[in-house]
Amino acid sequence: MADKAKTFALSLLAKCDIPVNTSDAHSLRVHDERLWNRVISQRQLGLGEAYMDGWWDCDRIDEMLTRIIVGGADAAVKKGPKLAVLATKSWLMNRQTQSKAKLNAQHHYDIGNDLYERMLGSRMVYSCAYWKTARNLEEAQEHKLDLICRKLQLEPGMTLLDIGSGWGGLLNFAATKYGVKGVGISPASNQVTLARQRCEGLPIEIKQMDYRDLSGSFDRIVSVGMMEHVGPKNLRTFFDTCDGLLTADGVMLHHTIGSLVSKQHTDAFYDRYIFPGGVIPSLAQFNRAAEPNWVVEDVHNFGPDYDLTLLEWEKNISARWSEIPAYDERFRRMWEYYLLSSAAGFRSRSLQLWQVVMRKRGRARRYDAPR
């Protein structure tokens, strides 16, 4: 059985032009021959966990995984029992109820602000940057924040609701540069604590709560990296909630990772270690949930920019792991695999990054989206 698994795996790697145990940067260097059975039986979960356990290495994980995705090697391996169980649970259960959503968010975003402060940059923005004319990560994140504000057509005195506001980077920028008043929400306590500190003195209120408990009226609504956590079973509830919160002539923008196909569950590695219960929506899922109350004014895809962003984050944190010794070697390898495998997803174009601008149905002036 072990020999069959190895032979099959090597044939798939050869088709993807991935050498084994060579000096090439994208070569898979195997340290434990049990790797082959683990990967063939557990697919991406087995590959990721084997990396965490030190069973293999690669100088350019991002490039190796890009070749695997483009070459279709991941799809060629049949799903094992563990993956079938995950798929069944996701079809039958709502894995983003209010109680579960809080725990899911805290699993990732409450890991520790010390890690994110070293990885993300000065504005603590944990989403795809906009590299159209930027020369570095700081510029690219500032350009992204400004692009969102311009698409929202922000004006002084407006009220802005940020659903899933993270460490407050967008609200801080919008209040400082555009003169708006803001409310931000997150279920993660570490984010809320630091966001309040970073927005101190500005007309911004940061609340620890679920979007389903929101009330009030806002001129503008934004979510950045939030839709991935809503879950397919809750997308209509999410849009209905926004419908009750946005003024009749308001503008709403959602910045989200996007999938080429509609799914009910995510990759098993990500579900177990990175974003439990998270599901990247397709445009079909997004649009079905928004019907019939919302007009989609603009869809902007700059997915390749996430590849660049993730590589910058990985470079930042790789240079500073020694400053945060509380994170052990297995966690470090998990985090490295997460960032570089995500970069491969965007480089291979199996993942997208969409900004979708929406308004309520009804009479309205023409909308022209900035770029």
Question: Mean of the pLDDT values across residues 349-356?
Answer: 98
Please tell me whether residues 110 and 208 are part of one structural domain. Answer: yes
Does some domain include residue 371?
Answer: no
User: What pLDDT does residue 87 have?
Assistant: 56
Sheet containing strand 159-163, strands side by side: 204-208, 181-186, 159-163, 218-224, 246-259, 351-360, 294-301
Whether the per-residue pLDDT at 138 is higher than 60: the answer is yes
Amino acid at 255: H
Please tell me whether residues 258 and 329 are part of one structural domain. Answer: yes
Please tell me whether residues 104 and 66 are part of one structural domain. Answer: no
Question: Mean of the pLDDT values across residues 242-257?
Answer: 98
Token match 């879950």: residue?
A: 231
Please tell me whether residues 70 and 139 are part of one structural domain. Answer: no
Question: Mean of the pLDDT values across residues 31-53?
Answer: 96
* pLDDT band (50, 70, 90) for residue 91: low
Interhelix angle 113-120/304-318, rounded to 10 degrees, is 120
Contacts made by residues 86-92, CB under 8 angstroms, sequence distance 24+:
86/265, 86/268, 86/271, 87/264, 87/265, 89/265, 90/264, 90/265, 90/279, 91/264, 91/265
Weakest-pLDDT range from 14-23, 169-178, 264-273, 335-344: 264-273
Weakest-pLDDT range from 86-95, 190-199, 248-257, 319-328: 86-95
User: Mean pLDDT for the chain?
Assistant: 94
Query: For 155-168, how does the pLDDT look when each residue is reduced to its tens digit (9 = 90+)?
Result: 999 999 999 999 99
Does some domain include residue 356?
Answer: yes
Number of independent structural domains in the chain: 2
The model's pTM is 0.94
Whether the per-residue pLDDT at 251 is higher than 80: the answer is yes
Does some domain include residue 366?
Answer: no
Please tell me whether residues 270 and 329 are part of one structural domain. Answer: yes
Whether the per-residue pLDDT at 12 is higher than 60: the answer is yes
Please tell me whether residues 135 and 261 are part of one structural domain. Answer: yes
Please tell me whether residues 251 and 346 are part of one structural domain. Answer: yes
- Domain boundary (36, 51, 78) is at 78
Question: Distance (Å, rounded) from C-alpha 364 to C-alpha 360?
Answer: 9
Interhelix angle 189-198/98-109, rounded to 10 degrees, is 70
Please tell me whether residues 39 and 114 are part of one structural domain. Answer: no
CATH number where 308 lies: 3.40.50.150
Please tell me whether residues 57 and 160 are part of one structural domain. Answer: no
Does some domain include residue 123?
Answer: yes
Does some domain include residue 370?
Answer: no
Please tell me whether residues 66 and 116 are part of one structural domain. Answer: no
Does some domain include residue 14?
Answer: yes
Whether the per-residue pLDDT at 268 is higher than 70: the answer is yes
Question: Mean of the pLDDT values across residues 189-195?
Answer: 97
> Domain range for residue 249?
97-360
Question: Mean of the pLDDT values across residues 215-232?
Answer: 97
Instruction: Kindly give the pairing relationship between strand 159-163 and strand 204-208.
Output: unpaired
User: What pLDDT does residue 81 have?
Assistant: 65
Does some domain include residue 86?
Answer: no
Please tell me whether residues 154 and 50 are part of one structural domain. Answer: no
Weakest-pLDDT range from 26-35, 89-98, 131-140: 89-98
b/e string for 208-247 if b means 16 or more Cβ within 10 A?
Answer: eebbeebeeebbbbbbbbbbbbbbbbbbebbbebbeebbe
Does some domain include residue 112?
Answer: yes
Whether the per-residue pLDDT at 84 is higher than 60: the answer is no
